[in-house]
Homo-oligomer: A and B are copies of this chain.
């Protein structure tokens, strides 16, 4: 039995009543409440239990005032009764790979606390509409929140996708946490350049036990993107508005998470999404021309890249630290059109002398870095700092890791970083 966080009187009360975390319970106090028993934080008092109500809110109930508590239904019972999706031989096949995140959260579903443990098969089974769009095979690659993912995870995902590049699947969905989804999307875009099938990274901003969850619609829209369009490449498929009206398919190198909690947190920077999935149609952005490149996977990353946001008061010794620590590249998030203060120049000269690549993006996030307008920018270019157009800083970082994974030559590195390889530079 799981009683995480409960102790003393609270633990005693739950044990006596044979209630454990995740149980759907009915509690009678001054009023009657129905909800899921939640885990508690350490150091909580032992006089309350916490329920997650159906409206998504948590409520603390004083044990002394509880007249009666009983389990209504164990979610495990519920799960076993769940029907497995049917297959229809006329529908196309797609693959659903889960890597973790809110969208693939199991304990979230049970308790409102969120742990990445739901399998791809369960995810598929939980959204019945999917079986009308495609026959979906499922596979668990790993179960991690995306804040814990590292470049080695990008490599695992890329190698898995690569192994299916010539498969019978029409496309592949990757269920992924939203925290670092944009980094993974960029990593796959570069390392699987020209991938012949569409790949949809899908997450959810609200866990599936909340009425406002975006998990199901995002999954359905991703499946529709794969089945109803004739495209390829890496996309992030997430709500386009705060309503359930449309879902955006963002290009993998131009997407950014711009809100901590909104369902439409993901936005295309410097343009519009490639596709908008609506109730009856999928609208294509007429300005977007599909990438016609031969598939040439290069699944290597070298994470010796330091991302530095410049700010007033930043100690230039940080650059010296990067040199001394063996970093091979620095991506600046400069100010405005791509500047850092004069105070950094000496350290930049030293870094260039040691052979580091130094690329310039802007902390403004949107817009183009133009280093020829002001003498600050021209000075930096003379020192060897390379302007990187309107690439998103995070994408520049991933691209630099990928470039370093594939070449040790600084000139080649500079060439790669300035080349528009997979629409990461949109002008």
Contact = CB atoms under 8 A, between A and B. Distances in A.
A376 B341 contact: no
Nearest to A105: B374
Interface of A: 41-42, 113-115, 145-151, 153-154, 177-180, 183-184, 257-262, 265, 301, 303, 305-307, 309-315, 317-318, 321, 325, 333-343, 362-370, 372-376, 378, 382, 390, 394, 397, 401
Contacts of A318: 306, 321
Contacts of A364: 257-260, 265
Contact of A366 (B147, B259, B310, B376): B259
27 contacts: A41-B378, A42-B382, A114-B375, A145-B374, A146-B335, A147-B334, A147-B341, A148-B376, A150-B343, A154-B312, A177-B336, A179-B335, A179-B336, A179-B339, A180-B335, A257-B336, A258-B366, A260-B337, A260-B338, A260-B362, A260-B364, A260-B366, A261-B337, A303-B312, A303-B315, A321-B325, A365-B365
Q: State the majority secondary structure of interface residues on A.
A: loop
Copies of this polypeptide in the complex:
2
B180 A311 contact: yes
A178 B363 CA distance: 13
B147 A340 contact: yes
B260 A336 contact: yes
A360 to B, nearest CB: 11
Nearest to A336: B179
B148 A313 contact: no
Given A260-B364, A367-B259, A378-B41, A151 B339 contact: no
Contacts of A334: 147
A114 B311 contact: no
Given A258-B365, A336-B147, A364-B257, A313 B305 contact: yes
